[in-house]
Structure 1
Amino acid sequence: MKTLLVFLLIFSIIVVIHEFGHFYFARRAGIRVREFSIGMGPKLFAHQGKDHTAYTIRMLPLGGYVRLAGLNEEEDLQAGMEVSLAFNDQNQVTLINKSKKSGQDELPVRINDFDLLDDLTIEAIPVGQDVMQTYSVSDQALLVEEDGTKIPLAPRSMRYESASVWHKFLTNMAGPLNNFILSILIYTLIAFLLPGVPVGTTSGESQPVVGQVSQNSPAAAAGLQADDEIKAINGQTIETWEQLTQTIQDNGAKELSLTVERAGKDVQVQLTPEKADNDGGDPNRLVIGIMQKSNVSYDSSLGARLTYGFTQTWAVVTGIFGVLGSMLVSGFKLDNFGGPIAMAQMTNQVVSYGFTTILSFMAYISANLGVFNLLPIPALDGGKILLNLVEAVRGKPLSQSKEGIITLVGVFILFVFMIAVTWNDIQRAFFN
């Protein structure tokens, strides 16, 4: 239960911060925000803000969204549909109710035609009558959806497609940017909670030098020692610790020939990696039983604490892009990604290490989400930003039909990807 609560808290905070970025800049651009949702699926709770935005909590805590007017979203009204209308003192329509629950003061009508973008009118016949009426619609009117959620209507000038390219770009960029800002702030907080922040030379941190050898491990059986520097594996030159671990993983559970520099002399060592015991982590990860020698010291100065948030976030971001870049060379690997199940497993591990570790995990996930959303995939923020750049170059946006098709393709790609990642998580967690 504790792990579940921590998981939901971490994910909810990250999602709220991400979506608030979209919300804030959309409002500044004059784009009407119809809904700010935490979670997906059926609605559990809704509150109508003074800004007419519907603030909702939905059943599945697997994300959230800000629903902007436009973005190929229609009002979902049709000719022949029966709805009920409410009016203000100026006899303007202030409520269009599609749900089955209508108020006593609402007028049931059958829609014949409508224009909720420019003229703001509804042409309809009141139920029980046979005379067509044309009703003026307030630009502050609300639409009650079938599940009871009230969303504001939006004239053309208040829709996403009417905003300038720059405002669209800021609105789309703000979500990932907020994730990076959250990561920076959390890592900075951690810097002030710790006695000092780790510092060290980049080359020292990356050197493939053995710091400790685990007992009863392949490395111990082969005679590896502390301060050994691994120079090559199977004749392939090794220059960094990251290259060392990746080479071990890529070669699988096969015998390796290591060239080791010890006291100025080269020594040949043979060993076979074994699967790591990760207590819920990746069961396919291979290890030889060594830890890297650390050249890290600790700095308790104010300057080091203030810059730690930036340097640590940058390290996470560059590390992610490094993994993505390596996939362009070695091929796409699902094991490099993790879905909700993998995140829950990692949460289970970090909970036992205390508050600071949980904070570090939240910062890491936030930075990850920021990078992922910047990928140029339609339906992600990065895909929308790419369309903004295309619009800036062309001098006009793509047609709504083309943009809609591109978005649907992106949604399909993401749907297939999430199914594949989740199934891979299940296999790693329960069948390996």
Structure 2
Amino acid sequence: MTTVVAFIFMFGLLVFIHEFGHLIFAKRAGMLAREFAIGFGPKVFSFMKNETVYTIRLLPIGGYVRVAGEDPEIIELKPGQHIGLEFNDDGKVNKIIVNHKSKHPNARIIEIEHADLDHELLIQGYEPDEEDEKLNFRVDRKAFFVMDEEETQIAPYDRQFASKSVGKRGMQLFAGPMMNFVLAIVIFIIVGLVQGVPVDEAKIASVQSDSPAEEAGLQVGDEVVQINGNAISTWEEFTNIVENNPGEELTMNVQRDGGTEMLTITPAEIEGQGITIGQVGVRQASEKSFIRSFPYGFERAYETTTLILTNLTMLITGQLPIDVLSGPVGIYDATDQVVQSGFMTFMMWTAILSVNLGIVNLVPLPALDGGRLLFVGIEAVRGKPIDPQKEGIVHFVGFALLMLLMIVVTWNDIQRLFL
């Protein structure tokens, strides 16, 4: 149950922060954000506030912010169509009843001749059986369509995604991944404040039970100064040697209580991402420092970003197999192991996944933020947008392929767990 709660909290936080970035910059640019959704599929819960419907959906595989104009408008008024109109106190149309007009006895029924809800905000038409007199109706900027008794706010062109400058559209798309990086930095800073900032030296903070380090006699407070006769001055040098020598006997000189001890240790062989690395079962020492916690947050975010980009490059070039990818099932299994290591470890895991989510979304693939940013960039270079229908087809195909990849990755996760 602890893992379930932790996974839901982590997933919800990462998706919420990502989509919150899209939402805030959409509203700042004057776009109409129709929906802020966590998850996909059927609605589980929803409410409306400040023009936006906030929803939680059944399938925990992401989220989205639906901005007016990004997709074709749901409802289109055509000549000859009969609709009902309701008016506000200013005499402007504030509700357009598309069907079930009998449920709105106060609505004025007209037959449409012309309707422009993008620029003119005007509906022209006739009352049924009275076609001698053309009627003009001004439409309120915040009027609603009512279809199947559900209301959808209209979106004048200046509130649609396409009406905004390249810079504003690009920033709205980039804001989601950006917020994931910001979240990671904040989490790393909090961890630094609570747990302390790792020291530069190869100093031991804890020794895992039944580990090679415990068997060799390493103790809390020991500082490794030499391995196989080579001087060690940083934790990074220590871990590099250990990881690159799985199953190989190492001679370590450690400083302890003002003296020097010589220990022999053989790193355990750990399989991960198609390679074998060495591990001895120790954790780096840290120190409490309010001032150092802030640069530490940025440093850890940078290091995590570099590591993920390196692995992504290796995956693209075929140096890593696709089997290393994990979907929701694999992430849940990893979260279960992380939760058992403590809350601070879970926080670090959340920060790492936040950076990963930000990077993956910036990959220039259709349907991802990076793919849509690519189209905005192409528009900036060529001076005019690509045909929205063609772009829509590309994103649709890209989304379908991503869902197929998600199915393959999830199946691999299930095989690793149960087969």
Q: 2:34 is aligned with what amino acid?
A: R
Aligned to 1:342: 330
Q: Does 1:192 align with 2:181?
A: no
Aligned residues: 381
| Cα-to-partner distance string for 1:31-57 (whole Å, 9 max, x where unaligned) | 1211112222222333222x3222222
Q: Deviations over 1:106-160 (max 9, x none)?
A: 456676653221222345677x767586543211112346583x44211111111
Q: Is the 8 A contact 1:275 1:285 kept in 2?
A: no
Give the match's secondary structure for 1:91: coil
Q: Is the 8 A contact 2:270 2:279 kept in 1?
A: no
Structure 1 range deviating more: 301-310 or 328-337: 328-337
Shift of 1:86: 2.9
Q: State which of 265, 280, 284 in structure 2 corresponds to 1:291.
A: 280
Q: Contact 2:114 / 2:123 at 8 angstroms: preserved in 1? A: yes
1:149-186 Cα distance to aligned partner (Å, 9 max, x none):
x4421111111111111111111111000000001001
Quick check: 1:137 aligned with 2:139? Answer: yes
Contact 1:228 1:260 in 2 (8 A): no
Cα drift, residue 370 of structure 1: 0.5
- The one-letter code matched in structure 1 to 2:4 is L
- Which residue, 311, 315, 318 being the options, matches 2:306? 318
Question: CA distance change for structure 1 residues 188 and 82 in 2, over 3 Å: closer, same or farther?
Answer: farther
Alignment match, 1:269: none
Kindly state the Cα deviation for residue 401 of structure 1 after the two structures are TM-superposed.
Answer: 2.2
Q: CA deviation at 1:12?
A: 1.0
Greater shift after overlay, 171-180 or 337-346?
337-346
RMSD (Å), alpha carbons:
3.9
**Whole-Å Cα distance in 1 between the matches of residues 374 and 28 of structure 2?**
21
1:372 aligns with 2:360: yes
Structure 1 equivalent of residue 11 of structure 2 = 11
Cα distance in structure 1, aligned partners of 2:251 and 2:6: 46
Task: Find the aligned partners of 2:29 and 2:277 in 1 and give their Cα distance.
Answer: 55
Q: For 1:379 and 1:23, how far apart are their aligned partners in 2?
A: 17
1:411 is aligned to 2:399 = yes
Identity of aligned residues (%): 36
Match of 1:400 in 2: 388
Q: Letter of the aligned partner of 1:158 in structure 2?
A: R
In the alignment, the residues of structure 2 paired with residue 99 and residue 355 of structure 1 have an alpha-carbon distance, to the nearest angstrom, of 54
Check if 1:64 corresponds to 2:52.
no
Which residue in 2 is equivalent to 1:253?
A: none
Is the CA contact 1:54–1:151 (under 8 Å) kept in the aligned structure 2? no
Deviations 1:363-393 (A, max 9, x none): 1111110011010011111111111221111
- Of 372, 388, 393, which residue of structure 2 is paired with 1:384? 372
Under a length normalisation based on structure 1, what TM-score does the superposition of the two structures give?
0.75
Aligned ranges 1:10-409 → 2 under 5 Å = 10-49=10-49, 51-77=50-76, 79=78, 84-97=84-97, 105-106=106-107, 114-122=115-123, 131=131, 135-144=137-146, 146=148, 148=150, 150-194=151-195, 196-200=196-200, 213=212, 290-291=279-280, 296-331=284-319, 333-409=321-397
Unaligned runs of 5+ in 2: 204-210, 216-225, 229-236, 253-267
Contact residue 325 and residue 409 of structure 2 kept, 8 A: yes
Q: CA deviation at 1:22?
A: 0.9
Contact 1:113 1:124 in 2 (8 A): yes
Q: What 5-or-longer segments of structure 1 have no aligned partner?
A: 205-211, 217-226, 230-238, 249-257, 264-272, 277-281
Whole-Å separation in 2 of the counterparts to 1:343 and 1:324: 17
The letter for the 1-side match of 2:143 is A
Which stretch shows the higher mean deviation, 4-13 or 239-248?
239-248
Q: Distance in 2 between matches of 1:332 and 1:289?
A: 19
Residues 59 and 129 (structure 1), Cα distance of their counterparts in 2 relative to 1, 3 Å cut: farther
Whether the 8 Å CA contact 1:177–1:370 is kept in 2: the answer is yes
- 1:41–1:60 contact (8 Å) kept in structure 2: yes
Distance in 2 of aligned mates of 1:344 and 1:10? 10
